[in-house]
Structure 1
Amino acid sequence: MAALGGLKKKRRIQIIAIAVVALTLATALVGYALRDGINYFRAPSEVVSEPPGPGETFRIGGLVEDGSLQRGQGGVVRFRVTDGGASVPVVFRGVLPDLFAENQGMVGTGKYIDGTFEASEILAKHDETYMPKEVVDALKDQGVYREPDAAEGNR
């Protein structure tokens, strides 16, 4: 009988060990699958103070700095995005949204390489409800956030 109890205990330990290994493997696979789908948001001040690695894809948002928009050959657009505390140069190859303009909010997805944010996607806001909460908070902290006009909100 003692041998039978030892076998049951050994079998229980094996099942628990297999379950732990399976759970660890499943967690690792989910993390691996989501690695490209998770884009952390950063304000320009955060990018300047703690630059992300060159391989990290993230979102940046703020206002397009006045006088910084330059359109080049082959659809290359350069500008600076600011939150009032710092500004980051951005380069984008492609067609910008119709609502994209200087002194307007934007959110970009891309990578920070050699001091420049290389955007793969640019979104332009049409009112303050489009701007991520993190951008609004950063702009308010810097004292440059503008409340939307009642007329703008009704468009």
Structure 2
Amino acid sequence: MTRKGRRLAMIGAAGVVLASAVGLVLYSLGGTMSYFAAPSDIVGKAFQPGQRWRLGGLVEQGSLTHDGASEIAFKVTDTNKSIKVIYSGIVPDLFREGQGVVAEGVVDASGVFQADTLLAKHDEKYMPKEVADALKAQGHWQEGSDYGKKP
């Protein structure tokens, strides 16, 4: 084999190894990714069972119920549509109706969001950027509000 042939073989082998490494990284990240969505993005849409979502919006007034010692049920709304969320675990101290929330989990076959992580805003002026952007897209954003800005 000539010098040029060996060089081409070495470059080809390095390309195969690099492509395999990139493929393995993308495959392993695929199972842990959760996509952000507002209730309007999830309600009534077909989705892959078991796909993780990060649902953001406002806790709907009058929807919060306690179903046992550590399980709560509530609705998350983007003021256009709402979706029922069931969460088992410790509820953040700042979690309440009418406030911004981000829940991570999966949508079951009946269309109920089964959350395994619940995040509440950390003070009265902050809202997660994704939630603020979703509210802007829905036309429910008041310009000049402090949402999305950290104090």
Identity rate, percent: 43
Matched, 1:127 2:124: yes
Q: Distance in 1 between matches of 2:93 and 2:14?
A: 53
Partner SS state of residue 73, structure 1: coil
Q: Which residue of 1 aligns with 2:62?
A: 67
Matched, 1:39 2:57: no
Contact 1:56-1:111 within 8 A present in 2 as well: yes
For residue 18 of structure 1, report the CA deviation from its aligned partner: 0.7
Partner SS state of residue 135, structure 1: helix
Equivalent pairs counted in the alignment come to 145
Change in 2 beyond 3 A, CA 1:89/1:140? same
Q: Which residue of 1 aligns with 2:105?
A: 110
Q: Distance in 2 between matches of 1:23 and 1:50?
A: 37
Q: Which residue of 2 aligns with 1:140?
A: 136
For residue 39 of structure 1, report the CA deviation from its aligned partner: 2.1
Q: Which residue of 2 aligns with 1:7?
A: 2
Q: Name the Cα RMSD after superposition.
A: 2.3
Q: Distance in 2 between matches of 1:142 and 1:91?
A: 24
Partner SS state of residue 17, structure 1: helix
* TM-score between the two structures when normalised by the length of structure 2: 0.83
Structure with the higher fraction of residues in helix conformation: 1
Q: Which runs of 5+ in 2 are unaligned?
A: none
Q: Distance in 2 between matches of 1:122 and 1:95?
A: 9
Q: Which runs of 5+ in 1 are unaligned?
A: 1-5
Contact 1:96-1:122 within 8 A present in 2 as well: yes
Q: Which amino acid aligns with 1:89?
A: K
Q: Distance in 1 between matches of 2:100 and 2:64?
A: 13
Greater gyration radius: 1
Q: Distance in 2 between matches of 1:20 and 1:33?
A: 20
